[in-house]
Structure 1
């Protein structure tokens, strides 16, 4: 079925509700996207675990705990087709209404990015900006969403560097996503939301530092890392600052 910008396929009895939410999330991303974007989004909403595994190729008996994932056929020239967001019915059913909106807005950012071919970017930047836009108007506080990370920072101090790509598949990936989210909050504060978004979707040729090396943001990695570590320390519960 279709609802505005959204199209939902699959056997979920919640298809109409999902379509309305997906339309709203697409509008939310569309409003801040720095380049024209159709906003069209395709959701595959299976009703059963068997159907979900058929759509994603996930092996039986293994659960990632991820409510939604964006898939696409990526061609050699970087173009993507058959872009779709697949919902895990078991995990989706456990989410609150607010949680569903955050998850679907996050995936909508991935859909928009796939429709703008670009050079390689560090995972922390892509996932961090997806989190940034997902939580932008949620009303949720950093101290609430990132509590486990901030407790770790209070105990052990902030990480020395921004998350590596490999960390996003580890057991503590929730904390890694929170690290990336806060890094992008800091980047937006330092460089401005539009400038950071344009760096996200711009071609690789526009992301070269003065020495010819890749520079994904309109500010140096060193400056961002220092500011990010200071922000984590400020937010940590024993810092006396709060969120």
Structure 2
């Protein structure tokens, strides 16, 4: 069973309720609008396929993948298909489903699933930023592990490494989101999207400096101040008489 509307084709397989097809079509259209608000109207102009299997076996068979230690609600494949895990409909709220679809459609819009050599913080941070931007929720709600670390005085110096995504994926996603939100706050959305679109496989120092006119290392202080302000951590300098 399948349905298509406004460039989104949803294909369900197995014992999936008919209502789920309509639900995914509706939520995907909302997600697509949110992606275009960040990345422009020139993205997602073709037809994007979303596979909705009935069970975990079907999820894997359609190309869904599971990373150790991570809760995977959806996957974008190298051929720009989005595959939704059954847990998306049992463990995630309706608002959360739009966030997940926005994240995955960002990967489709930027063809990031095939960009395996680009730094993970660029790929996942861009998708997380896009997904959360319309929610208008605060950093402490969106990145609770990071917020707790900042309150404890453990402030990241910059974006998470690729190794961080392997060892602590949940924390890495939160740190990547926060770093990208910081870049947008400090340098503006246009420069951020230009950087992500043109990121070389290593997204190294030269690429970063060429776009932002600054090194990653030089942003450690401003990034820390951004995090403390968003989390609500009072510093000595911010106290009366400090």
Q: What TM-score, normalized to structure 2?
A: 0.80
Write the distance in 1 (CA, Å) between the matches of 2:65 and 2:204: 38
Q: Work out which of the residue numbers 27, 52, 55 in structure 1 matches 2:33.
A: 27
Measured against aligned partners, the alpha-carbon deviations of 1:97-148 in whole angstroms (never above 9, x if no partner) come to 1111111101111001117987953211221121111111113221212122
Residue 52 of structure 1 corresponds to 59
- Matched residues in 2 for 1:33 and 1:58: separation? 26
The question of 1:70 aligning with 2:64 is answered: no
1:163 is matched with: 160
Equivalent pair of 1:183/1:224 in contact (CA under 8 Å): no
From the superposition, tell whether residues 71 and 119 of structure 1 become closer, same or farther in structure 2 (CA, over 3 Å). closer
8 Å Cα contact 2:103-2:131 kept in structure 1: yes
What are the superposed Cα offsets for residues 83-102 of structure 1, whole Å, 9 maximum, x if unpaired? 11111102432100111111
* Secondary structure of 1:215's aligned partner: helix
Structure 1 residues 5 and 23: alpha-carbon distance in aligned structure 2, compared to 1, 3 A threshold = farther
Partner of 1:183: 179
Report deviation, 1:202.
2.4
1:8 Cα deviation from its structure 2 partner: 0.9
Residue in structure 2 matched with residue 77 of structure 1 by the alignment: none
Matched position secondary structure for 1:10: strand
Shift in Å, 1:15: 1.4
Alignment-derived partner of residue 11 in structure 2: 9
CA distance in 2, matches of 1:23, 1:70: 17
Q: What residue number does 2:189 align with?
A: 193
Of 82, 87, 91, the residue aligned with 1:85 is: 82
Structure 2, unpaired ranges of 5+: none
SS of residue paired to 2:82: strand
SS state at 1:94 partner? coil
Match of 1:79 in 2: none
Distance 1:2 1:37 in 2: 18
| TM-superposed deviation, 1:156 | 3.9
Structural RMSD (CA): 2.9
Cα distance in structure 2, aligned partners of 1:63 and 1:115:
22
Aligned length: 225
1:78 maps to what in 2? none
Q: Note the residue ranges of structure 1 that are not aligned, 5 or more in a row.
A: 73-81
Cα distance in 2 for residues equivalent to 1:198 and 1:237: 30
Determine if the alignment matches structure 1 residue 202 to structure 2 residue 195: no
**Native 8 Å contact 1:34 1:198 kept in 2:** no
TM-score by length of 1: 0.80
1:120/1:53 Cα in 2 relative to 1: closer, same or farther (>3 Å)? closer
